[in-house]
A = this chain, B = another copy of it.
Amino acid sequence: MAKKVLKFGGTSVGTIERIQHVANIIRQEKDKGHQIIAIVSAMAGKTNELINLSKKLSEDFNKRELDVLLSSGEQITCALLAGALLKLNIKAKSWLNWQIPILTEGEHANARIINIHVNKIDEFLKYGVAIIPGFQGVSKNGDITTIGRGGSDATAVAFAKLFNADSCEIFTDVDGVYSSDPNNIPVAKKIEKISYEEMLELSSLGAKVMQSSAVQTAMMYDIPLEVRSTFTNRKGTRIFNRQNIDYSKSVTGVAYSKDDAKITLIGVEDKPGVAANIFEPLNKAQINVDMVIQNISSDEKLTDVTFTIKREDLPKTKDILEGNKDVNYKKITHNEKVSKVSIVGAGMVSTPGITYKMFRGLADSKINILAISTSEIKLSVIIKEEDTLKAVKKMHSIFDLD
């Protein structure tokens, strides 16, 4: 007998038929004698429908009330799933955020779970399935709070941690994490095991299988995860500690992001605080800066700073830079249509020649590298956007991922 946290995303509970299907998955686990905590998202489309209602009233809808509004989505799924299980003669009960309670702190729409009262539910788990709304909690003041889009993953990991669960399974509409985006790279393969760090690097680059902050929490408390499909019986991808993975391959996956733009400040005065002076105003304007590379310039007292941003932020970013009196530089250049291609693998650090192999592969495909950035388990290059898929396929093939 194990204690399991099972999380079902919005598409997994998107229709009544799917909720019945989820009830059957839970029944199978219950029949094996497991104790089950089910975390559910709002039915697919529901959260957007509610947000659209609020936007018709105000583009800047009050955040406290938005949390009251949005939390109703998961509440509905909870009641429906509990009803579906009871119909199958399985004891089940919905537990709303304030009934548990799931305590949060931090601002509305972006709160963090800080505690969950376990006693009542732990007692109930001996008899029945506890159905919990993801994505929400209640603040010290007794206000409903939500914990950000995709927050149901974070709820699942928090429950797995505080209930000391034996496993935390994330049921979704894909059957695992792939070596690259299977929609564009048909040879992409499902990864059987992956470390938290690799998962984070891959998911930050478009492989939106799981919410990153939930993976981080799981990493922090060493909670093994499994991402799997609600709609097939196939095994999913297991995500756990790097030490427990035997790496046969140095590279686990290839990720890419599109719609990026690159900006270079040429000849920046090289003195302490200059990077802060560049990026602080961008941060204030909520411009998300991704890769940052700083090189020595031809002039020894100067430096070149390159960074990437979302393409849509390019005009605003240039305006801010040009109006920034705290930074002296010679020139701004930019490249509007670039993408980032990254190879990710916890085995990279112990395998010599990976860097060379990547650059050689790109050269063979006649792809020009505009910038390079490396970390312990990731190697990213900025290239022209039109070369993206060619580069990803090449990487996939030279690192034996096909």
Chain A interface mostly: helix
Query: Are the C-beta atoms of B84 and A16 separated by less than 8 Å?
Result: no
Residue of B65, B78, B84 near A86 (CB, 8 A) is B65
Q: A72 at interface (Cβ–Cβ under 8 A)? A: yes
CA distance A84 to B86 in the complex (A): 38
Contact partner of A61 (CB less than 8 A), chosen from B65, B83, B142, is B83
B94, A56: Cβ atoms under 8 Å?
no
Q: Determine the chain B residues whose CB is within 8 A of the CB of A80 once the complex forms.
A: 53-54, 57, 65, 69
Contact, CB under 8 Å: B65 / A94 = yes
Task: Point out the residue from B53, B62, B78, B96 that lies within 8 Å of A82, measured CB to CB.
Answer: B62
Q: Is B78 within 8 A of A75, CB to CB? A: no
Chain A, 314-357, CB within 8 A of any chain B CB: none
Residue from B58, B79, B82, B96 within 8 A of A87 (CB atoms): B58
* A20 / chain B contacts, CB cutoff of 8 Å: 57
Closest-CB distance, A207 to chain B (whole angstroms): 33
Nearest CB in chain B to that of A70: its residue: B79
**What string of 1s and 0s marks CB contacts (under 8 Å) between A126-161 and chain B?**
000000000000000010100000000000000000
Copies in the complex: 2
Smallest distance from the beta carbon of A64 to chain B beta carbons, Å? 8
In whole angstroms, what is the CA distance A58 to B78 when docked? Answer: 15
Give the shortest distance, in Å, between A109 (CB) and chain B (any CB): 13
State in angstroms the CA–CA spacing of A99 and B145 once bound together: 13
Q: Per-residue 0/1 for A19-32: is the Cβ within 8 Å of any B Cβ (1 yes, 0 no)?
A: 11000000000000
Contacts of A53 in B (CB 8 A): 16, 76, 80
Asked if B65 and A144 sit within 8 Å, CB to CB, the answer is no
A24 to chain B, nearest CB (A): 13
A98 contacts chain B at the CB level, 8 A cutoff: yes
Contact indicator A66/B79 (Cβ below 8 Å): yes
Does A68 sit within 8 A of B, measured CB to CB? yes
Taking CB atoms, residues of chain B closer than 8 Å to A69 are 75-76, 79-80, 83
Residues of A bordering B, CB below 8 Å: 16, 19-20, 50, 53-54, 56-58, 61-62, 64-66, 68-69, 71-72, 75-76, 78-80, 82-84, 86-87, 93-94, 96, 98-99, 142, 144
A-B contact pairs, 30 of them (CB 8 A): A16-B53, A53-B80, A54-B79, A54-B80, A54-B83, A57-B80, A57-B83, A62-B82, A62-B86, A62-B87, A64-B93, A65-B79, A65-B80, A65-B83, A65-B94, A66-B79, A66-B83, A68-B75, A68-B79, A68-B82, A68-B96, A69-B75, A69-B76, A69-B79, A71-B75, A72-B72, A72-B75, A72-B76, A75-B75, A96-B144
